[in-house]
Structure 1
């Protein structure tokens, strides 16, 4: 598997950047995880919109879905230009019917509901889900292929169930929207100390802190998390790529 960070800002993208979007590739299959503001523009540095095989959405906040509409239009326009493209499956939950319905657009994309109580097969990937603590229904994902596992927490405050869900994963893509001295529980987000504690308790092999705040010294997030976890910790960076 190869994971590439496309966007990583929480809430909205910084100048010339993108909010949540992560490209996962294995055996030639390209899965986009979330599609926030700015993701489609940045994605084209790595791959073309018409080359995606599937998209999966954790929840329907704009910083995770804002570019779904322009992704649909990108594929529509490529069709006008003569490319024959298959209908792109967009996987999402059905607990917001209004937003879920937008995943289907003409014959360009098709919304496919995932059952968060079951494992989902998408190409070579096996995806399992954990409901997070967030103001709207949101699902973390454990994605496995080729004997490796990546966990994406999506948006959530800490919950005990994360420990087993993340156990022994090769990469923990962990949201970190708050500094260690802040309490993000009411907003449905984790801080750096909690991210480090989760990584240590779940014995993950490495952590990438993502969904980052727009203020403060971001390197402090690393030092705060490192007080709890002795393994590899990185800040999400545009086009950071990790091969497993």
Structure 2
């Protein structure tokens, strides 16, 4: 299984990358986590011959802005899009005239589904739990091909993140804050918080993404985080756009 970080910025695009989107290439499916502007690069990596699934964490613009690029794709099998309960209407209002090509006019079969908190078979098991964020936000746990991948962005430290990451082969978390940074009024993680979640959950590997564009202004700052914390978190990855790792 391959995981490619299509976009690794939080809030806005900058010289360090596009806004957040992650591609998982499994044996039978292509799975995309969030639809920041990085999603536009997905067709560099996939044939579009497999069933495709897109999971949205929440409605903040840096996680859905790339939806306006869906019209460039030619999925030969259905793209199924999953979002939280109560947000399908917002999503359909965003992916619509006059802003962009509406879902119903895209050049491939697609559907939008709302998910309740809990575990669902879609057909692979997916668990979604609420995270700590000013806007309602889901974290996800996906189980397929004998692997477990957990995805937690945007969030502060919380028990649900640990639950989703329990014994995961790969935990992907946000890293909106610098080491030691705090943001109690707008919860996000710093590297120490993300590592704490990974350790509590006994996750085998941790990848950091969704770096605050206004906080991490250079890729060197990300590399410094990886170098500083790798000794206490072996296998730590500070993701950059177009990085692919094997899981």
Q: 2:83 corresponds to which residue?
A: 92
Shift of 1:220: 3.7
Distance of 2:185 and 2:47 partners within structure 1: 38
- Deviations for 1:136-163, whole angstroms, at most 9, x for unmatched residues? 1110001111221011002100112322
State TM-score, norm by structure 2.
0.83
In structure 2, the gaps of 5 or more residues are 96-101
Shift of 1:113: 1.1
In structure 1, the gaps of 5 or more residues are 79-83
Distance of 1:150 and 1:86 partners within structure 2: 23
State TM-score, norm by structure 1.
0.84
- RMSD between superposed Cα atoms in Å: 2.4
Higher mean alpha-carbon deviation, 58-67 vs 217-226, is at 217-226
Q: 2:99 corresponds to which residue?
A: none
Secondary structure of the corresponding residue to residue 119 of structure 1: strand
- Deviations for 1:99-132, whole angstroms, at most 9, x for unmatched residues? 233467216432111222232424xx32101100
Structure 1 pair 201/70, CA: closer, same or farther in 2 (3 Å)? same
Aligned length: 232
Structure 1 contact 197–225 (Cα < 8 Å) conserved:
no
Shift of 1:223: 4.9
Alignment of 1:63-102 (within 5 A): 63-71=62-70, 73-75=71-73, 85-102=76-93
Structure 1 pair 39/165, CA: closer, same or farther in 2 (3 Å)? closer
- Deviations for 1:216-239, whole angstroms, at most 9, x for unmatched residues? 522343355447x43210111222
Distance of 1:191 and 1:66 partners within structure 2: 24
Distance of 1:45 and 1:222 partners within structure 2: 27
Match of 1:218 among 201, 208, 222: 222
